[in-house]
A and B are shown apart, each in its own frame.
Chain A
């Protein structure tokens, strides 16, 4: 099976600061992909480069075989690569209904709007109760549901989640993890950045440790790891 996404030798950063150094990875060959590693080592920058928010200085990013470097974020969304950014900073003064309509803005997603709305409501029944409420009035967990719901409205062919459980209470977090598993079972391949390794091990088939702007270790299916080994990867030996 060909990878749906491949990152080949990407170097990127902000201004004169280079964050990603010749990073390469693949997604979709074995199922879901997890990215982990210390904060500030380029995971979010990598996702911004993939979704077209940041232009890499060099390297190639292929989505479904096509090089998408230099494409606008809009074109990339239009192709079905959907990125849920970190920290659920959405549209604070829009209602949930508005966010869902925005999710279905691209021409590719629009014909599926009603069907995807059904899916989102089934996945997150809580959102239906607060459908006309402004996002700023929701709890952190609910806002994360809106973020993910908006992305599902975009009819994703590949869904990227950047720390979906960041800052959530344990109970809400468990609920959200279960919902993410549901999305995966629904057939949408995922790339997930997460600090919770247990969750990543359960959800994904392939893991990358991103350190100093490059892939430090790749863990392929079948190569299981214990908690201690991961800790030593984080902190050195």
Chain B
């Protein structure tokens, strides 16, 4: 019983974080058709900005939302500086891999210079612990498990029930046709990056509340998010969400039965198997588009 509870809980928790990260990657891929390798750095930066604001004396309830909004701005600026100028180049996918990696490295080292290498922690969303099904869990983790689906549902509602969301889905499918109905394609690209960066920043704040933060804290979640989007397929945002939770459960089960040491190897095994059997991802249709 306690084994099942532990795997279930661990899966839901990890899955939540991966989903927040993977959705942002998928959003940027589907709308702009590029892969954002500074996504992990967004996560780190969100956590550090939140930490700084709390350190300056702001209550967490103010600091966290402010950090998320600041991250939206960071995402927009990054898009305008290292992605937008390259749009229209024939080899844009590869070029943007390099520019976002470079920008990420710059930000990462900037954070190291500003905040130093010493590990930091930000306040938990809810302090305290409890026991469920014989497993000790923190209320912070439970809060994340509850909040994440709400945020993802809100994102889904935004994309599927609002005019602006419709415009974002349209750009994802056909750029020329989007120009011809009068959409502001450049602004929508910025918006996609801004949303992705805020979600990553929020994931960073979540993570900084239960684990020590460092300037490289985003690289492992980015790697996991990459596995998630390859596994689930990146042509929609619902695919990565389901895949994130599946990968979360898989990881929790692996680390329970085989130990933490073997878990990454097994995860990459899944990745390789997916690429061999169904390279477009298990939930994917073959086209690009948000739904």
Residues of A participating in the B interface, judged by any CB pair closer than 8 Å: 51-53, 73-74, 77-78, 82-85, 89-94, 98, 101-103, 105-106, 109, 136, 150, 154
Contacts and interface: CB of A to CB of B under 8 A. Distances in A.
Interface in B136-184: 163, 166-167, 169-170, 173-174, 176-177, 179-184
Contacts of A74: 179, 182-185
B180 A51 contact: yes
B281 interface: no
Given A91-B173, A92-B289, A94-B170, A102 B181 contact: yes
19 contacts: A74-B179, A74-B184, A77-B182, A82-B180, A83-B180, A85-B176, A85-B180, A91-B177, A92-B173, A92-B289, A93-B287, A93-B291, A94-B169, A102-B167, A102-B170, A105-B181, A106-B181, A109-B182, A136-B287
A220 to B, nearest CB: 30
**Residue of A52, A73, A101 with most chain B CB atoms under a 10 A cut-off:** A73
B139 to A, nearest CB: 40
A109 B179 CA distance: 15
A53 B177 contact: no
Contacts, number: 72
Contacts of A94: 166, 169-170, 173
Contacts of B166: 94, 98, 101-102
Nearest to B175: A53
Nearest to B182: A77
Interface in B169-227: 169-170, 173-174, 176-177, 179-185
Nearest 8 Cβ contacts at the A-B interface: A77-B182, A73-B179, A106-B182, A93-B289, A91-B173, A74-B182, A102-B181, A91-B170
A227 B184 CA distance: 44
Nearest to A153: B181
B179 A105 contact: no
Interface of B: 163, 166-167, 169-170, 173-174, 176-177, 179-185, 285, 287, 289, 291
Contact of B177 (A78, A85, A101): A85
B180 A77 contact: yes
A90 B174 CA distance: 7
Given A102-B166, A105-B163, A73 B289 contact: no
**Residue of A78, A84, A90 with most chain B CB atoms under a 10 A cut-off:** A90
Nearest to A150: B181
A73 B180 CA distance: 6
B180 to A, nearest CB: 5
A36 to B, nearest CB: 22
B287 A89 contact: no
A117 B287 CA distance: 28
A101 B162 CA distance: 10
B280 to A, nearest CB: 15
A103 B182 CA distance: 8
Contacts of B289: 91-93
A53 B182 CA distance: 11
